[in-house]
Amino acid sequence: MPRRVVVTGLGVISAIGLNAADFWHALQGGCSGIAPLKAADRSLLRFSNGAEVRNYVPAQHFDEKELGLLDRFAQFGVIAAREAIAAAGVEWTGELRERTAIVTGSCVGGQNTQDDGFVNLYRNNIPRVNPFTIPRTMENAAASRISLETGVVGPTYTVSTACSSSNHAIGQAFWMVRSGAAELAITGGSEAVFSLGFLKAWEAMRVVSPDTCRPFSKDRRGLILGEGGAMLVLEPLDAARARGASILGEIVGFGMSSDAFHITQPSPDGAARAMRAALYDAQLEPAQIGYINAHGTATIANDAAETAAIRKVFVEHADRLAVSSTKSMHGHTLGAAGAIEAAATILALRNGILPPTANFTGSDPACDLDVIPNIARAAVVEFALSNSFAFGGLNAVLAFRRFETLPSQ
Amino acid sequence: MSHEELTARVRSIIAATQQLPQERISADSTFEELGIDSLDGINILFAVESEFNINIPDEAAQSLRSVRDVIDGIAKLLDSGQGNQATASA
């Protein structure tokens, strides 16, 4: 009998809240964190809005020496991990440190640092690049820093699969705890996307909205980039109960697939295979799912393909499911998306409130699902999926369960 | 720039980016006939923007379905003052 894996800690830093409580407050209020960009010169861009982490003061979290070694993306990962570990009340022992895994996701790592260094080199004719550029830029910078801070010496690594990175990371961590390969896991992802070079690259893809992010809406015009991070603490149910930890939710399944179709266009078949794989891993029937936190990027292609995929998997039950894209509020955080949306899904199940799809203006026949337009909905749901589909055709889906705490516990 | 010259330059850009013989490409060719998908399309527009020193808005880009659409779109942007001449005089 495989072990049940529960979430005992959760941390978030995002455009709609610098901690999990504020994040959840904004989500249930349908508050969007999308606003005019401050990090880059908007006159050099065709789009002008993003979901930036505002009012974040790095010096409140790190001393100067630490900041010298941490790109913004890694800072977000470390801050979310600290919150998650504190919430879980983890009490470290030498043995637990050896049996703990850290698995993080990031799509582009410290590209802010790289951009700054290369501007100096190529434009400012400064022939030297900061010696910390490599440790700041590496995608595993957050995972390594979390390991250094906690003293965790078990399996620690980072997964980079574009927009599916942190769903792949959480899925790996979940399987490690379920199988007994780890006794505890710190897992999630982080991303910091707002450098001019990277924004120009997204501009060239022609998928960024000139106004806001309107997933599944008839007048959606593309995605809105976001930054942030989220981390979870996972452990076996028995261990969590034995130490009297408060249990926020349960991960029950993980599924992956590759489209083998096109490097950027989504395939409903690939997405459907990943959702089916997650259901199979969780030993669930499609009709048991009550909510899907959609990939829902608000590009023309994704939302129609995702709707088609959901219809393939759920058939008539697709009309009884609630689906929302919280990217309408925290933006598309690329390699952090799965982690931030896992946090949203766990909190939704726990609180009995499904977050809405914000900025929704009207139905598109190609996206004819119940997308919880604009206003959160009270609903007690037992099982939910959270979808991540990446450029490159790599799909990762997590299945969650509401954790019922008995009055005696 | 004459319409013929514009057409020739656009055919040449598409031939180069798509690795197609120029004679397969006419003003009447649709992207579908030429096997140009959405990613190829943005790559062609990138080459066109560089060649003519223009900025093609995303909304205009989404409606392009044929070589003629591209030529007409460029002509419109050049007429509106964008492009090489404006840069040269700047």
A174-192 pLDDT tens trace: 999 999 999 999 999 999 9
- Flag whether pLDDT at A310 surpasses 90: yes
**Mean per-residue pLDDT, A213-236:** 98
Rounded Cα distance, A52 and A98, in Å: 36
- CATH number among 3.40.47.10, 1.10.3720.10, 3.40.50.2300, 3.40.50.300, domain A253-401: 3.40.47.10
Catalytic residue among A107, A168, A213, A332: A332
Look up the ipTM and state it: 0.82
Nearest chain B Cα distance for residue A296, angstroms = 19
**pTM (two decimals):** 0.94
Largest Cα span, chain B: 40
Secondary structure, 3-state, chain A: CCCCEEEEEEEEEECCECCHHHHHHHHHHCCCCCEECCCCCHHHCCCCEEECCCCCCHHHCCCHHHHHHCCHHHHHHHHHHHHHHHHHCCCCCHHHHHCEEEEEECCCCCHHHHHHHHHHHHHCCCCCCCCCHHHHHCCCHHHHHHHHHHCCCCCEEEECCHHHHHHHHHHHHHHHHHHCCCCEEEEEEEECCCCHHHHHHHHHHCCECCCCCCCCECCCCCECEECEEEEEEEEEHHHHHHCCCCCCEEEEEEEEEECCCCCCCCCHHHHHHHHHHHHHHHCCCHHHEEEEECCCCCCHHHHHHHHHHHHHHHHHHHHCCEEECCHHHHCECHHHHHHHHHHHHHHHHHHCEECCECCCCCECHHHCCECCECCCEECCCCEEEEEEECCCCEEEEEEEECCCCCCCC
pLDDT at B87: 43
What is the interface size between A and B, counted as CB pairs within 8 Å? 26
Longest Cα–Cα distance of chain A, Å, equals 67
Which band of pLDDT confidence, cut at 50, 70 and 90, is reported for residue B81? confident
Distance from the B17 Cα atom to the nearest Cα atom in chain A, whole angstroms: 16
Res. A155 pLDDT band, cuts 50 70 90? very high
Assign A198 a pLDDT band (cuts: 50, 70, 90): very high
pLDDT exceeds 50 at position A223: yes
The minimal CB distance from B42 to the residues A206, A208, A263 is found for A206
Residue B50 C-alpha, separation from nearest chain A C-alpha, in angstroms: 12
Q: Do B42 and A205 lie within an 8 Å CB cutoff?
A: yes
Q: Do B46 and A204 touch (CB under 8 A)?
A: yes
The number of beta carbons lying within 10 Å of the beta carbon of residue B55 is 11
Q: State the average pLDDT over residues A118-141.
A: 95
The residue-averaged pLDDT of A353-378 equals: 98
Q: Is A213 a catalytic residue?
A: no
Does the structure show a pLDDT above 70 at B86?
Answer: no
Q: Is residue A330 flagged as an active site residue?
A: no
CATH architecture label of A5-242: 3-Layer(aba) Sandwich (3.40)
Q: Per-residue pLDDT tens for A30-43?
A: 999 999 999 999 99
Q: Which of A163, A168, A213, A330 is catalytic?
A: A163
Query: CATH says B3-83 is which class?
Result: mainly alpha
Closest chain B residue to the Cα of A205, Cα to Cα: B42
Q: What is the Cα–Cα distance from B17 to B37, expressed in whole angstroms?
A: 12
| Predicted confidence (pLDDT) at residue B60 exceeds the cutoff of 70 | yes
pLDDT at B90: 34
The label of the residue with tokens 């088609």 reads: A308
Whether residues A206 and B45 touch (CB distance < 8 A) is answered with yes
For A51-71, the pLDDT digits (tens) are 999 999 999 999 999 999 999
B82 DSSP 8-state letter:
-
Distance from CA of B16 to the nearest CA of A (A): 19
* CA distances to A101, A148, B18, B31, B66 from B35, in Å: 47, 51, 9, 6, 11
Q: Give B42's contacts in chain A (Cβ within 8 Å).
A: 204-206
Name chain B contacts of A300, Cβ cutoff 8 Å.
62
Q: What are the extents of the domains in chain B?
A: 3-83
**Chain B residue at shortest CA distance from A201:** B46
Q: What does the pLDDT read at residue A406?
A: 57
Residues facing residue A230 across a β-bridge: A12, A189
Distance from CA of A131 to the nearest CA of B (A): 34
The residue ranges of every structural domain in chain A are 5-242, 253-401
- A205 to chain B: which residues are within 8 Å by CB? 42
Q: For residue A204, which residues of chain B lie inside 8 Å, CB to CB?
A: 42, 46
Reduced to 3 states (helix: H, G, I; strand: E, B; else coil), residue B66 is strand
- What integer pLDDT is reported at residue B88 of this predicted model? 38
* More confident position, B86 or A165: A165
In angstroms, rounded to a whole number, what is the distance separating the alpha carbons of residues A257 and A92?
36
Q: How far apart are CA A107 and CA B19, in angstroms?
A: 31
A265 touches chain B (CB under 8 A): yes
What is the rounded average pLDDT for all residues in chain A? 97
Quick check: A298 pLDDT over 60?
Answer: yes
Write the DSSP assignment of B22-46 as a string of letters.
Answer: GGG--TT-BHHHHT--HHHHHHHHH
| A332 tagged catalytic | yes
Instruction: Read off the pLDDT of residues B16-57 as tens digits, 9 standing for 90 and up.
Output: 999 999 999 999 999 999 999 999 999 999 999 999 999 999
Q: Which long-range contacts (CB under 8 A, 24 or more apart) does B27-35 make?
A: B27/B66, B27/B67, B27/B68, B27/B71, B28/B66, B28/B67, B28/B68, B29/B66, B29/B67, B30/B65, B30/B66, B30/B67, B31/B64, B31/B65, B31/B66, B31/B67, B32/B65, B34/B67
**Position A302 pLDDT exceeds 50:** yes
Q: What are phi and psi of B11, to 5 degrees?
A: -60, -40
CB contact under 8 A, B42 and A210: no
